[in-house]
Amino acid sequence: MKKYLLRDSVVYRAEADGALIYNHETGDVTPLNASAAFMCESLLINGDDTESVLAEIKKRWNVPDEDTVRSDIEKFIIGMKQLELIEEQAG
């Protein structure tokens, strides 16, 4: 799977129950729930691989169905791309 990063114009701020993403270019603020915040931190900030994030989500939120988690990760990335908050990592 491709790796992505937050765009330079995007600021991530962790909150008690999730996170906020602020896009300096548009002025838009996007709230993230706890699982989306975890995906953002793990995949987009720390550069963790999808499989390790998937395993941690299953464990942390007690989700037995791997396909559901995989689908959620894919939907998260698609949504972030549509909002133009992320870009593909070079190399």
Mean pLDDT score, 2-20: 96
Cα dihedral sign, 8-14-15-19: positive
pLDDT at residue 84 greater than cutoff 90 = yes
Cα 59 to Cα 5, 17, 28, 62, 66: the distances in Å are 24, 18, 32, 5, 11
| CA quadruple 21, 24, 28, 29: dihedral, nearest 10 | 20
pTM, rounded to two decimals = 0.94
pLDDT for 90 equals 81
Q: What is the pLDDT of residues 18-63, one digit of tens each?
A: 999 999 999 999 999 999 999 999 999 999 999 999 999 999 999 9
pLDDT for 2 equals 85
How many Å apart are CA 1 and CA 76, to the nearest integer? 14
pLDDT at residue 91 greater than cutoff 80 = no
Pairing between β-strand 29-32 and β-strand 4-6 as defined by DSSP bridges: unpaired
pLDDT for 11 equals 97
